[in-house]
């Protein structure tokens, strides 16, 4: 019996903020797909940006962060196995993935510059936040936002 008897389309699934990866088409064929392509990419990119190396570590990270991941993706069949990550990335053109990842990271940097340029500090106002404190808060919030977009 195939793993996908209802013929669910698992080729999509990129969460918001991952548009740079839309150029990569799902290379998988057949009816044995259990995980949305975009969700697998999201998990791998997020885990890698958090310092994970290798598919076993990516899977372990995703298992530990499953509740957080479910805020952004559905995970209808849970976290994929390390072998599933490996199989999928063996099919993806590494140069295309690298270009998409580079664009994604540049987009995150652009977002930070835009936010910084929008902040106007009125140094003469008695209730204004000191510039160093505001930058520290922004950097903390930006790191959290990067994780939510990664």
How distant is the alpha carbon of residue 10 from its chain centre? 17
Distances (CA, A) of 96 to 28, 39, 81, 114, 146: 16, 18, 23, 27, 22
Give 15-73 pLDDT, tens digit per residue: 888 999 999 999 999 888 999 999 999 999 999 888 899 999 999 999 999 999 998 89
pTM to 2 decimals? Answer: 0.71
- The whole-angstrom separation of Cα 58 and Cα 64 is 10
């Amino acid at each position: 019996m195939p793993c996908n008897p209802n013929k669910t389309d698992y080729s999509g699934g990129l969460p918001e903020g991952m548009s740079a990866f839309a150029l990569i088409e799902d290379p998988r064929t057949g009816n044995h797909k259990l995980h949305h392509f975009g969700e697998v990419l999201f998990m791998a990119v997020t885990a890698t940006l958090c310092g994970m190396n290798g598919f076993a570590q990516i899977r372990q990270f995703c298992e530990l962060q499953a509740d957080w991941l479910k805020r952004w993706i559905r995970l209808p069949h849970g976290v994929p196995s390390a072998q599933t990550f490996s199989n999928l990335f063996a099919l993806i053109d590494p140069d295309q993935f690298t270009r998409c990842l580079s664009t994604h990271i540049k987009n995150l940097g652009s977002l930070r510059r835009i936010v910084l340029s929008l902040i106007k500090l009125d140094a003469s106002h008695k209730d204004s936040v000191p510039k160093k404190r505001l930058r520290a808060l922004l950097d903390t919030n930006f790191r959290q936002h990067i994780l939510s977009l990664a």
